[in-house]
Amino acid sequence: MKKILVAYFSASGVTKKVAEKMAKAVGGDLFEITPEQLYTRADLNWMDKQSRSTVEMKDRDCRPAMAAKPDVSGYDVILVGFPVWWYREPSIIDTFMESADFTGKTVVPFCTSGGSGLGDSAKNMQSLAPGANVLDGKRFSSSASEDELKKWAEQF
């Protein structure tokens, strides 16, 4: 039986709810990817060209610090959840992907979004963890059921 970690970043709580359901559905452990400096409402204002999130997403080399580093050594599969920002994974996910040794691990992104998909997230994540096997992921709505999440995750 594969050991699964559900790692997630959630800015507004939507991804957190889906990640918690995901972990329960697959019998996996949960790890919250928390920025060292939490995002404020103003930081998340994507309409403000000077907001923290906008500035971070314009700089592909930006790596916001995480409050804690993950230990992925005991896991076979890491499901990585996040909201879609500017048609891709938030910069803190890039930090996460560079923070641990994912060699030999299967990494599968999943996102929450009102309509945007994952874009190039899997490709980006693969480039940051070349020893991993990063698979294409899936977008889920905030109302995704445990059954839907379990059925999706069973393929890994």
**pLDDT (tens digit per residue) in 79-119:** 999 998 878 899 999 999 999 999 999 999 999 987 788 98
Q: Tell me, what's the pLDDT at 18?
A: 97
Query: Count of CB atoms within 10 A of residue 95's CB?
Result: 20
Q: Tell me, what's the pLDDT at 23?
A: 97
Query: Count of CB atoms within 10 A of residue 120's CB?
Result: 12
Spatial CA neighbour of 95 closest among 80, 105, 106, 108: 80
Instruction: Using pLDDT thresholds of 50, 70 and 90, give the confidence band for residue 39.
Output: confident
Residue 13 Ramachandran class (φ > 0 left, ψ -120 to 50 alpha, else beta): left
Q: What is each CA distance from 140 to 5, 72, 155, in whole angstroms?
A: 18, 24, 16
Domain residue ranges of the chain, discontinuous segments joined by +: 4-153
Evaluated on CA atoms 74, 79, 81, 85, the torsion sign reads positive
Work out the end-to-end distance of the chain between its first and last CA atoms, rounded to an integer number of angstroms: 11
pTM exceeding 0.75? yes
User: What is the CATH topology of the domain spanning 4-153?
Assistant: Rossmann fold (3.40.50)
